Amino acid sequence: MDFGRIFQPVIQILVFLIGMSGNTLVLLTYRCSRKIKSKTDIYLINLAIADLLKLMTLPFWTTSAINGWELNNTMCKVAQGVFSINFFSGFLFLTCISLDRYFEIVRAVEAHTKRQKSFFCSKFTSVFVWIASSLLSLPEFIFSESINLDGSKICKMIFPEQITITLKNMCNFFQIVLGFIFPFCVMIVCYSSIIRTLFSCRSFEKHKAMKVIISIVLAFVVFQLPYTLVTFMEATDFIGSKQMSCEVRKHKDIAIIITSNLAFTRCCINPILYAFVGVKFRKDILLVLKNFRCISRASYIRHCGSSRSFSMPAAMETSSFTL
């Protein structure tokens, strides 16, 4: 608990400030200067909303790490439920973006002929993702409670005794499958096909696009895999045994604190990897900043002019994701 009181507030405050700024800037850019023209635009907006809503729960967990949970059971259920909804929706929208990039680049002709229909389907898919995420988060809304533990109040899911261990571990199972295995497998399949397609291109920018792809996959693995492994070990009771020594239990709790906060930082990384890497998107961001008088007109012209030499070919920079 002493470690958590120091580590969690520092990390979470930084994540909150950077993540709120980045994702708000994405939404402002779409609102003020960028037209929604593709499926990826729809998914990027929803991803930014999911990250923002998840970040809004951070102050609750930060104050809880310092002083314990000081709010009532209702707020505990709301905070846990909102976090869970946006946990699942964030990963599902990442999966949608991967699939969309695959169709736009690997199966470009087919994607172009069905653009209008697929654009409508992306809106339907987004609604489905939010509904599915809400259904998957029902256990958090139902079983989350504020309880006393070691002289301090915490907010967590508490299952009734009549519920079996198997049902208790279902929540961890869904986190593992939908929070890592499924999106990771989709990323590997889609981006492998994209890389093979890029190798057949003669554009000198294909190496830059490949670096973006590798960065996306590496960031996903680095930030999410450690937390997934800890969740898996808890679900399978490898490190959840009540007979473990106090020292081992302490290391387990520290591992959960570190890996869960590491996973939180993805909310800061998503805008950079999925939006800001696009040259066109960066120009739109600069335009928004200029309109809000955050940068001068001279700075806007200088940065936009210098970015022309690094522009992707139109076929590769579809929508706002530089590929």
Q: Which of 34-38, 210-214, 241-245 has the lowest mean pLDDT?
A: 241-245
As a whole number of angstroms, the distance between CA 242 and CA 249 comes to 9
As a whole number of angstroms, the distance between CA 290 and CA 300 comes to 7
pLDDT of residue 204: 52
318 in a domain, yes or no?
Answer: no
The two tokens of residue 316 are 């590769």
| Residue 178: count of CB within 10 angstroms of its CB | 18
Task: Pick from 87-101, 224-238, 251-265 the range whose average pLDDT is largest.
Answer: 87-101
315 in a domain, yes or no?
Answer: no
- Summarize pLDDT for 11-31 with one digit per residue, the tens: 989 999 999 988 998 888 888
Look at the chain and report how many structural domains it folds into: 1
What is the rounded average pLDDT of the residues 120-131? Answer: 92
Position 323 pLDDT exceeds 70 = no
The identity of residue 136, as a single letter, is L
Angle, vertex CA 29, rays to CA 28 and CA 34, nearest 5 = 135
pLDDT of residue 309: 38
What global pTM score does this model have?
Answer: 0.84
As a whole number of angstroms, the distance between CA 69 and CA 293 comes to 41
- Summarize pLDDT for 52-78 with one digit per residue, the tens: 999 999 999 888 888 888 888 899 999
For 155, the 3-state DSSP assignment is strand
Domain of 62 in residue numbering reads as: 2-310
Angle, vertex CA 34, rays to CA 28 and CA 38, nearest 5 = 115
Position 46 pLDDT exceeds 90 = yes
Provide, rounded to the nearest whole percent, the portion of the chain with pLDDT above 90. 21
198 in a domain, yes or no?
Answer: yes
Confidence of residue 184 (pLDDT cuts 50, 70, 90): very high
Question: Who wins on pLDDT, 235 or 142?
Answer: 142
pLDDT of residue 106: 86
231 in a domain, yes or no?
Answer: yes
| C-alpha distances out from residue 38 to 34, 102, 118, 154, 319, Å | 11, 14, 9, 43, 6
As a whole number of angstroms, the distance between CA 38 and CA 286 comes to 21
321 in a domain, yes or no?
Answer: no
Please give the biggest Cα pair distance in the chain.
68
320 in a domain, yes or no?
Answer: no
* Chain mean pLDDT for the chain: 80
| Residue 249: count of CB within 10 angstroms of its CB | 14
pLDDT of residue 243: 59
Q: What is the CATH number of the domain that holds 93?
A: 1.20.1070.10
Question: Who wins on pLDDT, 316 or 31?
Answer: 31
242 in a domain, yes or no?
Answer: yes
Beta bridge partners of 157: 144
How many residues does this entry show for the chain?
323
DSSP string across 105-151: HTTHHHHHHTHHHHHHHHHHHHHHHHHHHHHHTHHHHHHEEEEEETT
